[in-house]
Chains A and B, each alone.
Chain A
Amino acid sequence: MVKFCLTKEKTEEFKKLIKNGTLDPFKLNAMTSAQRRAAFAKYFGDFNAKHINALFESKLLLKHQKKGMINWVKQVGGISEPAKRDFLSRIQRIESILIPEAEAQFLEDFAAHRFGGAITQAEAKKVFEMAELTRVKKAAIPKDSPDGSPEKIEYGTAYVLFKDYVGELKLEKPTLKELLRDPKKLAIELAGSIKGMVATLDNSFFGRQGIKIFYNEPQMWANGLIRSFSDIGKELRGIDAKTPIEADVYSRTRALDGTYNRMGLDVGLDFEEAFPSALPELIPAFGRLFKASETAFSGGAMRLRADYGDKMINLAEEQGVNILDKLEAESIGNLANVMTGRGSIGKLGAIGKELNVILFSVRFLASNFSTLFKGIWGAGKVVVGKVNPRVDPKFAEKQAAKALLKMVAGMTAILVAYEQITGREIEKDPRATNFARIPFGNRYFDISGGVTSVISLAVRLMPTLHNGEWGWWYKSPNGDFKNLFKPGFGQRSVLDVFEDYWEGKLSPVAGALRDIWSGQHFDGSRPSPKSIAKRLITPISVQELTDMLKDPNSEYILISMLLEGLGFSMSTPFSTNWANSDSKEFKAFREQVGLEKFTEANIEYNMIVSDKTNAVTNTQAYKDKSDENKRKAINTIRKDTKKFIFDKFNFTP
């Protein structure tokens, strides 16, 4: 650019014009660039005017505008000191004058700084550095480097740290202050926290969500289980166990080449549905236990999902499946998700967070439905495909069928072996409450991760045959069948069974509402603020332990708790709580003997009834009875026992 200057005569003229007010500096300052140029052109010609104006703007006006802006920023409130400093440095970098069109932009930028929405120089620098480090680490991975190699782990760690930092910068996690200001968010966060609190203090992923892998890839499952304990240990000692898991998964070959993305494998989740909030981590001491449990769950899920996903995608590739095809890859990814307790909920995914407030584990539930129905569908296609070549099942469909078959075979083997070795009978009728559960002490353990309850629901909702009669049959724990289509007064109907299933899947918060509305808890006791609060913050494992402690018939409490802690859900045995009864008889009994003896009597009653029922229901004679007679027999036991107890306490109704 050629240096411009005005001759002495012209500058003298210019000064004169300024001094005598022909050119008013204030008006000139306020003019637009074009107006100012036109004003100069009048006296100095177009060429000179253009240069004078340009020099004025760059040398004088810009400097003063910046000064004005700086003064303004210093005066205006509501902006933090660091943000103010950052914004001031931005002003210093401005190289062109603030024209009206840019003013809005300037103000918006200021507003972003004021609200903490703007990126600061330090943040940008760190992002650039971390991006570069991640790139370098990725480039340093040798070709054919195996998964888990030091180079890959180094890259994975850099990537996770970078990802976490970017996550932090996004400010997506609401602060406590924000939560308090936003009731909806607060409600969701609280519901999530409560769910997390209830789901914690165990290592339940492997016995529930991950149990399907046990039947299909036992070694993979066992490896995951063992490592999860190691993760718990690390977290309890305050060592971050999650980052190494993430680093391992994100640096795997299939993650690097984009296969996981194509598959839609759920390995990049912020939260698993059982632990939707990290708030409980803030609770002193308990927070660490919570974090350990959460890491065991989320880390275990992530690792197992990636392991199984890798296995499936490699197998598909070996079999010549085009894994670059999005549909093929997605179906395999979906299978891996389902097998690790994360089923697809389709369009409901858009309201997943809200749905999570209502249901305990909607995706886990969906995975159980998928395991069953997609497995049957796949098996059907495989069979039909043998006859009709036009029916060609997809790789994932075949694998789903295989997975279901393996699960059924595995469960059958375990159940039958258990039955034969221990001599305790396994319930084989899917209409029964304890279908395919392992009897242990006076409780029944589910080794299917909830799949059998889906089968039971399906079977109870369709007409079936019992003793030659069609009906919607349900088999009680005492072995008698009830036709839900012809419910007696106060008895359950088909709809009740359907509703009960879903009510049982409610989240703790929704469950509390259910109990309030129905006027009773699951055990029949009346809801009170204390009882509701207790249920909302007590981990399931502790609730189960408390129940077992209260139950005099409980056996093998410690082993049972270990199983429960590993995710093998146990059923609660029948018991009657007289305190919940409104009958005059019990009220009178309580008045006569006092609360302590009343409770003692109730416990003894339950113990005797349970013992006698177990003894009777296992006899062949009982099994041969008609349903009506079975019910009568059980009622007789209860009636006789009550009489015995009343006599013992010298009470005459």
Chain B
Amino acid sequence: MPIDFNKFLPDTDTSSSSGGIDFDKFIPEERKTPTPPSSEAKFQESNFQSLLSLGLSEEDARKAANQPVGISPIKTRNIEGGGQFKSDFFEGFQTERSGFSTEELDLFAQRDEVKRRDILGTTISELDHIIPLGLGGTNDASNLKTEKAKRSVLDFIRRTPTQYLPQDKRQAGNLVAELAIIKLFQDGDITQLEGVKMIKELKQDPDILDKLEDIAKKVDNVYNMYTGIVGKGVNLLGQGVGYIVGGSAEWLRSSDKEKARKQAELTSKLTGEFGQEVGKNAAELAPVAFVAPLAIDAAIIYAIGQDVRKAAADAGVEYETSQSGLRATEAGIRGLAAKGLEKFGVSPEVSQDLVQKNPLIASGGLFIETLLTAWASRGMTTRMRNQLVNKGLLKGEQVVMTTQQLKDVLKSQGKDIPADLPQGTWRLTQVSPSAKGKLVVPLKQIGVKYKFAEFRPDPLLGTAEVQLTKTNALLAGDTAIQTAKPINFGKFTPTPTIVPTAVVAPFVKPPVTPIKTSTVKPVEPVKPVEIPRAIEPSVVQRVNTETGEKTFQVIPEGQLETFKKLIDDSVKGIAGKNIAGIQTHLTAKTPEAMQQAGFEFKGVAQELEIQAQEKKAAPKVIKVPRSQLPVEPQFGKGEAKPSKLASRLKASYKKLSDAEKELLPEFRSISRESQIRQASKFVEKDIDRALRVLKGQEEAPKGLLHTSIARALFEQAKLKKDLNLAIDLTTFRATRQGQELQMLVGLNKDNPAVILNRITQARVKALTKGDKGKLKVSNTDRASLKKSIKEAQPKKDEWLDFIKEIEC
């Protein structure tokens, strides 16, 4: 399942001045420029071109250009023949250059009557963009001019090509100022128009503004063409609606057919015009529709409609004067179909003849024509997009950032950082401001849009899905969160004179050198769990671990701190452990949540009732052998707290609808607390035995129902994600218990173990087609199994080895 990575990205264009125009839609994927080369790469490429222009072979030029460079902005290079050049390399906001061949550069130089090289063959001029690319200029010949550099005698002797001269010498000494203007624009301090005006003054080019206006006009044309098309598409829809509504209304009013027809035509015209305006405005307001299929379809419909109309006129049937619009439409469609055939090389006469005589061929022709129109419409969209890109009015470039950098971007925009933002590397398409906005609004006021392109996850953290799953599980917080500290409740706690070792033991640091025992599992030190700030415990739970009696009391509002103070800091450990036979803790749940979970409250906890025990010195640590430590590390003996399985099982019963409960004849019995606990304990203790019971190979423990065991097994499989158990549960279909199990699998449909069982049932049904005999193994196979097992049985020698093995 793909993740919607875009949801992590900063919002789209935030500027109101750009009208929310999503120009990203205009950029076809293939036109989005690749990640800009690094400064180093830029420099090398630049050197390479320069060396080439000096007459070096491609190989030598590449070799020289690829020499490692220092970090100094002044680059010095020695070249063969004793020459040297240095460059004040600019790597700030210079836009990418388009490569022109030497021949092209010579031609431009010839046109501009400027020399390209001096007598030593050094390049002394370069091609300059009149309107810099960085200000929206293009590579059109009209925007290019060969400019001589301001060279000194030293430059002449050193044979420094113009590209590697200091900026204040290049391009008639205008480059520094030009770049400064571009930077002002790029930084958003001036508008594009202002920038171009400044360039105009700099270069003393009176035509520059006209050129810019020309570009702006082109943008407008493209834009207007688009809004016009959408408008006309809606016009058609409007015409249809107007025809029906206007005509019907008039007829209902006057019962005059002729009047109704005239009214229909009039209303059609009016609603068409209205629709056109609506469409045009809508397109201006929401140009995103430009690429929406609906708008394209509208354009297609319009185009086809116009074609039909024209074809009808060609066939001599004018819509406006036709008695029957349908007849005109039919004629138009046939005419259109003929055009479709003509596109396949059929002569106009034959085409006309075929479509008139054979409507099947006409359909084919129409299909071709319609398809071409549709393609043309889509092609038009592409052309428009390309035009915007080609004119340099729109730019989409790909940037790579780490998750931390993405966070910084989000932060800089004042956006919330998603909690589940996966860690890794992001490749994003950064879409520059809208063309129109760029012309007239300083960039500072226009946002930058990012579009997701690729995410490479941090290999240590796993895929985005894995990361999200983990984060979501963490955020879901469905695990019980307990206080980090236990509380001593004086009044309820029998004041022990001797602290029982079994109680103290969990809070004692594990011995450094544990006593070796083979049968007792070591107690894992329990890590304290911190309560998230968002969740405040408000319930006190007390469990008598001997009787299992559990009471809950609500902490009065605002009293939480008072109760927290009662926590005995001298005892370290986690709540939920036994303290003198009483297990107490604050829960992170609200009383409502606890009540919903089926717990009963015994009122509000009173501060007086639970006087804190006088703080004592830390209890004396009594070292006990590990064998005496309780085996169950979580909740101790006596099942003071139900196991996770029991809780899950209980919750699963609660989820059942009344109808589902009816499917379980023993529901009342199996949903009893004692039955749940017994089944959970039984399954947790020995899954194999539980399975054997279900398979009928062993008796169930007294009082424990098969259904309870089965359900506990299913829950256990889900809880522990135990594939083997889940598979085992699918295997005993033939037994009586297996039959009973079939009934259960209809319940808890989201349990994967249950789903597997249902799959098996369906498979067996599909494969046997009701004939269970197909699942039986032949007697021959049965006998061969017995034989095989018999043959593999231990021989005398192996028996003797075995005896040796069990010798003390």
Binding site for B on A (CB under 8 A): 1-8, 11, 14-15, 18-19, 25-26, 28-30, 52, 55-56, 59-61, 64-65, 67-69, 71-72, 75-76, 90, 93, 95-96, 98-99, 101-105, 107-112, 115-119, 121, 123-125, 127-128, 131-137, 139-140, 150, 154, 157-158, 161, 166, 169-172, 174, 182, 226, 229-230, 233, 413, 416-417, 420-421, 423, 545, 548-549, 554-559, 561
Contact = CB atoms under 8 A, between A and B. Distances in A.
Contacts of A561: 363
B7 A556 contact: no
Nearest to B366: A558
Contacts of B360: 545, 549
B448 to A, nearest CB: 22
B776 A56 contact: no
Interface stretch (B60-68, B160-168, B556-564, B753-761): B753-761
B792 A64 contact: yes
Contacts of B724: 93
Interface in B220-248: 244, 247-248
A127 B717 CA distance: 13
Interface string B340-382: 0000000000000000001110110010000000000000000
Contacts of A67: 792
Nearest to A155: B1
Contact of B800 (A15, A105, A109, A421): A15
Contacts of A107: 776-777, 781-782, 785
A154 B4 contact: yes
Contact of B734 (A19, A108, A420): A108
A381 B334 CA distance: 53
Contacts of A30: 790, 793
28 contacts: A19-B796, A29-B793, A52-B806, A55-B806, A56-B802, A68-B791, A69-B788, A71-B788, A111-B774, A111-B775, A117-B764, A118-B731, A121-B727, A131-B751, A132-B752, A139-B472, A154-B1, A170-B762, A171-B767, A172-B766, A420-B260, A421-B257, A549-B360, A555-B330, A556-B330, A558-B333, A558-B334, A558-B366
B3 to A, nearest CB: 7
A68 B790 contact: yes
Contact of A118 (B468, B692, B730, B769): B730
A219 B788 CA distance: 72
Nearest to B726: A124
Contacts of B791: 68, 71
Given A108-B776, A131-B750, 19 more contacts: A30-B790, A65-B789, A75-B788, A101-B697, A107-B777, A115-B768, A117-B760, A123-B759, A124-B726, A128-B721, A132-B469, A150-B4, A154-B3, A166-B755, A166-B759, A170-B763, A172-B766, A549-B360, A556-B326
Given A170-B762, A421-B247, A558-B363, A69 B799 contact: no
Contact of B723 (A52, A108, A118, A121): A121
A65 B732 CA distance: 21
Contacts of B807: 5-8, 11
B648 interface: no
A321 to B, nearest CB: 20
Interface of B: 1, 3-4, 7, 244, 247-248, 251, 257, 260-261, 264, 293-294, 297, 326, 329-330, 333-334, 358-360, 362-363, 366, 465, 468-469, 472-473, 476, 518-519, 688, 692, 695-697, 721, 723-724, 726-727, 730-735, 750-752, 755-756, 758-760, 762-764, 766-769, 774-777, 781-782, 784-785, 788-796, 798-800, 802-808
Contacts of B7: 150
Contact of B759 (A98, A109, A127, A545): A127
A171 B359 contact: no
Contacts of A101: 695-697
Nearest to A97: B789
B794 A25 contact: yes
A421 B755 contact: no
Contact of A417 (B248, B762, B798): B248
Nearest to B333: A558
- Which of A116, A169, A555 counts the most chain B CB atoms within 10 A? A169
B795 A136 contact: no
A61 B789 CA distance: 10
Q: Which 3 A-B pairs have the closest CB atoms?
A: A68-B792, A68-B789, A170-B762
Given A68-B790, A558-B362, A104 B767 contact: no
Contacts of A420: 247-248, 251, 257, 260
B418 to A, nearest CB: 12
A421 B264 contact: yes
Nearest to A26: B793
B763 A169 contact: yes
Contact of A102 (B695, B760, B788, B794): B695
Contacts of B696: 101
Contacts of A108: 731-734, 775-777
A300 to B, nearest CB: 16
B759 A119 contact: yes
A571 B330 CA distance: 20
Contacts of A111: 774-777
Contacts of A558: 330, 333-334, 359, 362-363, 366
A7 B806 CA distance: 9
A396 B731 CA distance: 46
| Interface secondary structure of A, over-half rule | helix
A59 B145 CA distance: 93
Nearest to B697: A101
Nearest to B359: A557
B726 A421 contact: no
- The residue in A3, A140, A161 that gathers the most chain B C-beta atoms within 10 A of its C-beta is A140
Nearest to A133: B1
B244 A105 contact: no
B752 A128 contact: yes
Contacts of B334: 558
Contact of A64 (B473, B731, B774, B794): B794
A580 to B, nearest CB: 24
Nearest to B795: A25
Contacts of A61: 793-794
A108 B734 CA distance: 8
A30 B726 CA distance: 32
B803 A76 contact: no
A494 B339 CA distance: 52
A136 B363 contact: no
Contact of A128 (B726, B731, B758, B767): B726
A559 to B, nearest CB: 7
A18 B803 contact: yes
A157 to B, nearest CB: 5
Max chain B CB contacts within 10 Å: which of A67, A117, A233?
A117
Contact of B804 (A1, A11, A135, A421): A11
Contact of A171 (B244, B730, B735, B766): B766
A339 B292 CA distance: 30
A56 B799 CA distance: 9
A162 B408 CA distance: 37
Given A226-B294, A413-B248, A557-B359, A1 B731 contact: no
Interface centre among B519, B724, B727, B796 (most CB of A within 10 A): B727
Contacts of A14: 803
Contacts of A64: 789, 792-794, 798
A59 B802 contact: yes
Given A72-B784, A559-B326, A29 B755 contact: no
A596 to B, nearest CB: 17
Given A65-B792, A137-B1, A4 B750 contact: no
A421 B260 contact: yes
Q: Specify which of A1, A121, A131 lies most central, judged by the most chain B CB atoms within 10 Å of its CB.
A: A131
B781 A76 contact: yes
Contacts of B804: 11
A137 to B, nearest CB: 7
Contacts of A26: 793
A270 to B, nearest CB: 13
